[in-house]
Amino acid sequence: MTTKKEEEIEVIVFDLNGTFYNKSSKDEFYNFICTKRPKRVRFFFEMMYYKLLHKFKQMRQTEFKENFFNYLDELPPEKVKEYAREFWKKEYPENFNKELHQHFDKMKKEGKQLFCATGGLEVYVKPLFDLYPVDGFFGTKTRYENQTYLVEGEACKDEEKIKRLDEHFKGKHYTIIEAYSDSKETILEKAKKAFLVKDGKIVPFE
């Protein structure tokens, strides 16, 4: 039996790229890194190759993440975080969905818990939430080994997002009252109210 307090855990979950953030952070962060390390431009064609493999389902999501982010090779986590802090200060809040931003602020004041669940690597996404605090953040976990980033577990997509929420609440009862994403995914199907964000416009998911 759940207690009244547990029943009151109401959660809003949002994806980042193309949803709360109007752009693709994996692409934009690469462009930013190239301004700091111009020689990283050499990774461009390699990244396009991996994008094509992933698009035509020739590469699993987790494998794609490991290979696409090769442009971060030889940059230890603290250096990536340093660059990420500078990157997000440049992007936030101008390039974020203003309607969602206002709505999230309102819902936070009403006591709703706000979570970001994104496939982006935690190492460069997490500094964003020093600028815009949320109750929880889940991204793709990595470890830095032999000067490259390896994915730990699975990329934070679809069912993995639900798994991470379950782990966070440790058996406590919670309800996803709203979910937002730029594409159809499991988190939308689990929410009481689900929305797709297309070109900045928020429409009900059916």
Can you give the residue ranges of every domain in the chain? 4-204
Q: What value does the mean pLDDT take over residues 111-130?
A: 97
Which superfamily, per CATH, for 4-204?
HAD superfamily/HAD-like (3.40.50.1000)
Q: What value does the mean pLDDT take over residues 92-115?
A: 98
4-39 pLDDT, tens digit each = 445 679 999 999 999 999 999 999 999 999 999 998
How confident is the model at residue 2, as a pLDDT? 47
CB 179 within 8 A of CB 190: yes
CA 179 – CA 10 distance, rounded (Å)? 11
Q: What value does the mean pLDDT take over residues 123-147?
A: 97
- Residue 65 burial (C-beta neighbours within 10 Å; 0-12, 13-18, 19+): buried
For residue 1, pLDDT over 90 is answered with no
Look at strands 201-204 and 193-198 and give their pairing: antiparallel
CA 164 – CA 118 distance, rounded (Å)? 11
How confident is the model at residue 50, as a pLDDT? 64
CA 86 – CA 128 distance, rounded (Å)? 10
CA 162 – CA 14 distance, rounded (Å)? 12
User: Of all residues in the chain, what percent carry a pLDDT higher than 90?
Assistant: 79
One-letter amino acid of 45: F
